[in-house]
Chains A and B, each alone.
Chain A
Amino acid sequence: MRKTVLEVLGLHRSYGGVRAVDDVSLTLAEGRSLGIVGESGSGKTTTARIIVGLERADSGRVLVHRRDRTERGRGRADRLARAREVQMVFQDPYLSLDPRMPVATVLRETLRLHFPGTDHERRIAELLDQVGLGPREAAALPRQLSGGQRQRVAIARALAVEPAVLVLDEAVAALDVSVQAQILNLLADIRAATGIGYLFITHDLGVVRCVTDEVVVMRRGRIVESGPTAEVLARPRHPYTRLLLDSVPVPGWDPRRIAAARRAL
């Protein structure tokens, strides 16, 4: 039995009468990968933002290594401890990096904050190597890099803290297919090498199949189905999961039938 690293219990969050997150509970075991699938308005991103502390929950608890992390810490020590537990990679690599900061500086800032007094330059080279970048990219500004390279930088920045859990919020959605595959492979390699846990937020069932062990399907703030990814995708029990699966276009696809099914649901 693997140790549980992240546990979310009965999370609720409303925005003026709309229940964005409604009784969401999840568990992520050490080194595993959990997907949250849903469309816009499903509450998947709000859930992720509550877990990393960017958003507050109305009620419910977030536990990391059995420690309560629901409230955002007040002091510096609390803040740093939390950062070392959960890190996040954002959707748009064009906006998630400070346009004025060269890549090496981005990493150095994080290392200085969390690991003062260690050899930062060696660690920077190590991190960049881990995400497939070299010294040329280290000196570059974000605008001199491609979308895929920027997302690699964002991943390196998150890994620099050596977190237990990495939350990936639509982290490959903005990338071209061929680049997306490179990043997905990179993420698989990193998990195999470090034993880090992933919480993968996405709307893409193909991506879920590729990188997650377990999946929860969210709709209108609630979890409608959960289970092992292979199982859920092969034999969906909830009609909404089935609709999502049918919506993935393949040859011989009948969009009219899906549109009818969507209206019926």
Chain B
Amino acid sequence: MRTLWRDNSLSFVFFGFFVAALVGQAFAGWHEYNNEAITHHQETIALGRYLVSSSFGNAVMENWQSEYLQFTLYILLTVWFVQKGSPESKQLDRGGTGSDEDQRVGEHAREDSPRWARVRGIRLWVYSNSLLLVMGAIWLGSWCAQSITGWSDYSADRLAHGEPRVDYVQYLGSASFWESTLQNWQSEFLAVGSMAVLAIYLRQRGSPESKPVGAPHSATGVEG
């Protein structure tokens, strides 16, 4: 049990935070939903019903997609783009996907390398890009789910106000969809950019996200 915690404490802590925040969001969102319903002289709903509503799904998916876009872009862009002095960046002359020798693939693979790193062809390509592919798929999937739940919620809202339904494609061009999408993107882009930049001059002793406290400001791609 102690080994389980020692080996995986970071994943457990974040999982706990995720569940606690999601439960909090569900209760707060449910109250807000029912407050709105009372204001509009509509029926209130049970918590169980709210959890399977487009309203709640939309709120969850909207935030998921922007987080996964952020990480997908960060994984992709840091292959080629660099920032002098940032621990989040590779060294300045290391841009690109690296040689097979550096990446320990094919005949350069070692005894303990993953199986798909030792083969050639499509399997090696898939495994070489698997983190980006999966994070990108979650981004596109959750963005798609945001758009569908948003459309459903938006249509229900229009019906309640006696306005005609819009079709899915019309919703994709609506100000409502793009406002909810871009308000999340802008904050993620700023946060991830500032993380790369602030860590040039600032430090957190002990964190792998920071350079060692005594590392020079110009040191790039060095972890604490």
**Bound pair (A, B):** no
Q: Which residues of B contact A (CB under 8 A)?
A: none
